[in-house]
Amino acid sequence: MKTFRLTMLALGLVSCLSLGTTLSAQRTKATTAKRTPIQTITPKRPAGQRDVLGLRLAPMPVVRVGFIGLGMRGPSAVERFVHLEGVEIKALCDLHPDRVEKAAKILTKAGLPEAATYSGEETAWKALCDRPDIDLVYIATDWARHTEMMIYAMNKGKHVACEVPAVTTLKEAWDVINTAERTQRHCMMLENCVYDFFELTTLNMAQQGLFGDVLSAKGAYIHNLEPFWKYYEGNWRLKFNQEYRGDVYATHGLGPACWALNIHRGDRMDYLVSMDVPATTLPRFMERQMGVKNPQVKNGEMTHTLIKTAKGKTIYLEHNVTSYRPYSRLYQLVGTDGFAEKYPVEGYCLRPTEQAKDAVPNHEDLKSHDFVSEATKVELMKKYEHPIQKEIAEKAKQVGGHGGMDFIMDYRLIYCLRNGLPLDMDVYDLAEWSTIGELTRISLENSSSPVAVPDFTRGAWKRLPALQLHFAK
């Protein structure tokens, strides 16, 4: 009996050792195996078509503009445009006549000529695009209408500026890109947050090497929309979150991060992974505040996404429009020699390099364990104020629009068109930043698998060494 027990014990030990060896081998295999990202289609560029990276066209001393969509964002855009030089507002369009009438009064109040008006029909906007006296079509409608309007306008020879997100699917993105490349028209998404004062100053610091090599960035859209859902006609934005899963509104956080990391100007987004948590607050809101029984919401309470670039850098994104928490776009840059953060505390942390010592009067304030003092931060922001800010910041603050960044955005759009310069944001920015929604959905629906980000430039990103915002000489 004793011998039997010893034999069984030995066999058990051997079995355990064997199992351990097997599990160890499996772990090694699992950890060393390459996890290939889910591929997304990058269609071949049609024959005779060329990219629009750095597109330059003939200067236009006066930019003639038509506005489509005068609900939430459109009227404020018209109000800002009356303060721009070299602009003629030629036409106003909205489905609802009363909105057009209100926008027309903005021109009258400013002492400007009357604009042609279009309303009352779903296709009234096409008549605006058909006009030969319009150079730029400015689109501020709901998201579902953007793609058709952009494509139609470019096919009519117009440049386009469209609210965010400009597209909602990969197919829409490729259709818009191909139209822009075929027609050689500017197509810009109206991402205002890249022009916020802290972001512009920090971008200038990064471009001048104050942070060393910028390795990682963070961005987000964290904004409880409960007080605002009702202002979206027909609840279209709430319905979008009901029906779609993923980071459906990434552009505000992603734009400044991409600028700092030179995305499609020397580097590109390679792949991403995304995770979310169950939808909780929005269904409860719909049930309690809207009387919806058993509401079904596909989009998670919050979505977290990590993006890897071709050069090995990272971008972290977060989307949350339902939780009860303070507004934040996160905005962080992490470099080899410094760090910048806007939320929740605005500040800089710098290694005491020779360049940093030259930038501030108090070298002892350059410390690794804390932000520099408020006085040093003010000194840094003054020294590294972006040239765009020096040119237009004071007027922007007076005109307004999210503290002035909306006006800077409009100013730069018109400035570049009038001077025949490449726009600050192009159709590839539009595609990359907008399609994060569908790409994260693919990842989420496949157990957070990595998903390849298409090269929307189809190789052209290697041609430019870094982001450059252009100025007239």
Cβ-contact 269, 307 below 8 angstroms: yes
Which architecture does CATH list for 194-463? 2-Layer Sandwich (3.30)
Mean pLDDT of the chain: 93
Give 13's pLDDT tier (boundaries 50, 70, 90).
very low
3-state secondary structure (DSSP) of residue 196: coil
**132-159: per-residue pLDDT in tens?**
999 999 999 999 999 999 999 999 999 9
Task: Output helix, strand, coil percentages for the chain, rounded to the nearest 5.
Answer: 45, 15, 40
* Domain ranges across the chain: 63-190, 194-463
Neighbours of 37 (CB within 10 A): 18
- Which pLDDT score is estimated for 443? 98
pLDDT above 50 (res 17): no
* The two three-digit tokens of residue 100, written as one number: 């057009």
- Which pLDDT tens digit goes with each residue over 62-115? 999 999 999 999 999 999 999 999 999 999 999 999 999 999 999 999 999 999
Give CA–CA dist 237/83, Å, rounded: 30
Q: Name the CA radius of gyration of the chain, rounded.
A: 26
Give me the architecture of the 63-190 domain, per CATH: 3-Layer(aba) Sandwich (3.40)
Whether pLDDT at 195 is above 80? yes
pLDDT classification of 16: cutoffs 50, 70, 90 = very low
Contact 63, 419 (CB under 8 A): no
Residue 29 has a pLDDT of: 53
Per-residue model confidence as pLDDT tens digits over 293-340: 999 999 999 999 999 999 999 999 999 999 999 999 999 999 999 999
Distances, alpha carbon 367 to alpha carbons 23, 117, 312, 334, in Å: 46, 59, 27, 15
pLDDT of residue 93: 98
Structure token digits, residue 42: 């990058």
Query: How much is the pLDDT for 190?
Result: 98
Q: Which uninterrupted H or E stretch holds 168?
A: none
